[in-house]
A = this chain, B = another copy of it.
Amino acid sequence: MTQYKIPNATIKRLPLYHRYFQFLKDSDKKKISSTELAEAVQVDSATIRRDFSYFGSLGKRGYGYEVEPMLDFFKRLLKQDKTSPIALIGVGHLGNALLNYNFSQTNNIKIVAAFDNNPEIIGQKINDILVSDMQDLTNLLQAQKIDVAILTVPATSSQKVADQLVQAGIKGILNFSPIRLATPPAVRVHNVDLANELQTLIYFLDNYR
């Protein structure tokens, strides 16, 4: 499968499609029209057709999509046969919420380790996940073969902690701090910037109503 030309925007929609076909399967649906699919995932059908076209001929024009083969396809594409163990760094309010978040509901992402440097938090169990000492970061990440981390530390220490994660061999960081991290090219950082999201939404409301 040639994948290097797939636009980022398409890739970001793949989990959405996967999740919806999983929902259809769970609801015992066998088939869905492209109009219904567009309505359900709130992506227009031309975009869906273009997205799917990167992966060969999925579905037939005027017929819609068969749930089971589509689900199998997205499962394979998103490697749903293997579980991805994730670490979370920084167990403040947001870190706590993410530890309690049910990531694995429709996929096999699982936070398996959490880290903090606060002695009052270290040793606690949150949603069955033990909070470990930052000092044990490298050992524990390597022992558990974790290469993706969620970063929910304060802005003031996020770059320092990111450096530690890179040192420990982490390959991907989901960064919730409002700082843009400097990392080597081999380490991929995705940013979830909550204030930014709100401000962008408000900008659109102010300017495009």
Contact partners of A14 in chain B: CB under 8 A: 199-200, 203
Assess whether A49 is interfacial by the CB under 8 Å rule.
no
Determine if B172 and A205 form an interchain contact, defined as CB atoms under 8 angstroms apart: yes
Given contacts A100-B93, A180-B42, A202-B109, contact A174 B197 (CB under 8 A): yes
- Segment touching B, from A28-36, A52-60, A78-86, A133-141: A78-86
Given contacts A201-B172, A205-B171, contact A195 B107 (CB under 8 A): yes
Q: Taking the nearest CB of chain B, how far is it from the CB of A208, in angstroms?
A: 7
Assess whether A188 is interfacial by the CB under 8 Å rule.
yes
30 contacting pairs across A/B (C-beta < 8 A): A4-B208, A11-B203, A12-B196, A12-B200, A14-B199, A15-B196, A15-B200, A16-B196, A19-B196, A42-B180, A42-B181, A78-B202, A79-B203, A84-B198, A84-B202, A93-B96, A94-B97, A94-B101, A96-B97, A101-B195, A103-B194, A105-B195, A106-B178, A106-B195, A109-B195, A148-B205, A174-B197, A174-B201, A190-B197, A192-B192
Contact partners of A27 in chain B: CB under 8 A: none
Selected from B11, B196, B199, the residue in CB contact (under 8 A) with A204 is: B11
Contact partners of A114 in chain B: CB under 8 A: none
Determine if B109 and A207 form an interchain contact, defined as CB atoms under 8 angstroms apart: no
Contact partners of A197 in chain B: CB under 8 A: 174, 190, 192
8 Å CB interface, A151-199 against B? 171-172, 174, 178, 180-182, 186, 188-190, 192-199
In the bound complex, what is the Cα–Cα distance between A16 and B195 (angstroms)? 10
In the bound complex, what is the Cα–Cα distance between A198 and B12 (angstroms)? 10
